Structure 1
């Protein structure tokens, strides 16, 4: 197992397939983009499948989430999903995406073995979308969401970041829209993971503010903590249920004590926390000819020293050097 000194066991693996993205969201990267990782530094399709196999068969991982950057930009994505779905024991496999390109790939991904998707969408307004992402692709995201639902990649979860003075007045409208289309909406507090290092706590729309905005139109009933388990989102029944809305309050209500995640970057680095400033290089071990057992042992060592929390509340907190696009969601 991937256990740390605080007794937490990592069973959820987040695998970044690329650091590239076809959007330029203002809270993630600059308009000109970033310097992408050179191809030789990226794990190959075979190496990714091997790492997932080690995690599942040697280390007790039961959930695999493919992320980016934008994972739909990875040419071998469908094949990677198919090969990982064939592992024994079979992990649950999901994908976090911006939804661009999902309309043409949802059916193939479902056939390959993908179980569900999380799609990022911060606004219902195409003009605000263009301002936030610096791209005119709102219609493509909506088409991708519909295709994912029709393909059975359910529950389709929609991830939304509210920004003060930009889209924070859309909270209730977004929830009403999600309920209408049978999507599960999850609001995420803006985190200090932007490439520009411009995040300011005072600019962040907090979980408390989000719930206040939603409660002005809907009746929210907290879901029992036992139901939440180690999931990052606190969830509320909407108007008595069964529909739910979630809030991931990584900054104001951290859930570090129940964290069950381990992360593998596109260039083969293990991260024990989204906000970690240290990584462990598994790519070098992998390419040196190490056995599965040796790689598993290195992975266990990397997770053993995981800190008790993200340190966001510590005055000495320093933002990770890598932005979210290079870490993986």
Structure 2
């Protein structure tokens, strides 16, 4: 099914918890509502099943930190039984080494791991925890488990990791055979305004340096027109959603908050659609209506 702007819905990003074992100062918690309710395994499975009926092929599980849920392996296992083609998890990687083998066996295809720095002191200043070694161990275990390609997500923060850190992260990702994604800081909620103003970094200058090193560049049109640079046999991807009409024009993703609300747009939190209530009421018609409403509400944030 396509929205009114001709964009198919091929991807669903599901937040399965608002809880996290880190305390990153920039976190906007996916723009989540503050309602204290959380979906169980069967509810998540039902929501993915209906999403698949609407043409969704890719499922990304996120949080908060999804791996802190004791039933995360069961969630992946349930989704893997449904007609979807790709299941991935975005994680901070702190407990990944302990769970990655079970997740891979349950049907996980890929993993995205947050890695803003390779400097332990900088890592602790960003996350509030001394957990970098655990994250690096998790990356190694994910590679060994065959979750290919492993993607490393680096959020660029002005004055913190926007200098020589980037070269180090590129070299690290190339050495590991991982894909590095350099991500622009977003302004999702009003309470993030101060963080955005202080730490937002336009990625143009960084991207230009990478372009000069690259042997080729590709554009992922089906993934928000992201540019992928081929560098020394590896890949560096640039994700810059802010004020980017191309990012919006080619967006094929619908989001689900941890409280069971469909979120038509990353940048908005004022048009959420409750789909968990009809799931709990076992009202098939209302479930489908919720998806149809959310798709109807989708429009490019940056025109």
TM-score, normalization by structure 1: 0.84
Q: Summarize the Cα distance change of 1:143–1:132 in structure 2 as closer, same or farther, 3 Å threshold.
A: same
Residues of 2 paired with 1:197 and 1:252: CA distance? 15
Partner of 2:14: 15
Of residues 265, 284, 287 in structure 2, which corresponds to 1:295? 287
> CA contact under 8 A between 1:28 and 1:193: conserved in structure 2?
no
> CA contact under 8 A between 1:187 and 1:248: conserved in structure 2?
yes
Residues of 1 paired with 2:298 and 2:145: CA distance? 38
Could you list the per-position Cα deviations for residues 55-111 of structure 1 after superposition, in whole angstroms to 9, with x for gaps in the alignment? 11x211100000000000111110110111011x23310000000100010100000
Matched, 1:265 2:257: yes
Residues of 1 paired with 2:133 and 2:49: CA distance? 36
Partner of 1:70: 65
Partner of 2:235: 244
Partner of 1:310: 301
> CA contact under 8 A between 1:20 and 1:36: conserved in structure 2?
no
Of residues 189, 203, 206 in structure 1, which corresponds to 2:202? 206
Aligned residue for 1:247, secondary structure, equals strand
Structure 1: runs of 5 or more not aligned: 314-329
Give the alignment's Cα RMSD to 1 decimal: 2.1
TM-score, normalization by structure 2: 0.91
Partner of 2:77: 82
Q: Comparing both chains, which one has the higher relative contact order based on Cα–Cα distances under 8 Å and sequence gaps of 6 or more?
A: 1
Matched ranges for 1:140-179 at <5 A = 140-169=134-163, 170-179=165-174
Residues of 2 paired with 1:215 and 1:12: CA distance? 28
Residues of 2 paired with 1:281 and 1:266: CA distance? 11
Matched, 1:27 2:18: no
Matched, 1:221 2:216: yes
Q: How many residues align?
A: 296
> CA contact under 8 A between 1:206 and 1:252: conserved in structure 2?
no
> CA contact under 8 A between 2:21 and 2:65: conserved in structure 1?
yes
> CA contact under 8 A between 2:33 and 2:259: conserved in structure 1?
no
Structure 2: runs of 5 or more not aligned: none
TM superposition shift of 1:205 = 1.8
> CA contact under 8 A between 1:12 and 1:61: conserved in structure 2?
yes
Could you list the per-position Cα deviations for residues 187-235 of structure 1 after superposition, in whole angstroms to 9, with x for gaps in the alignment? 000111365432345742222122244357x335321x3xx12213311
Partner of 1:280: 273
TM superposition shift of 1:35 = 10
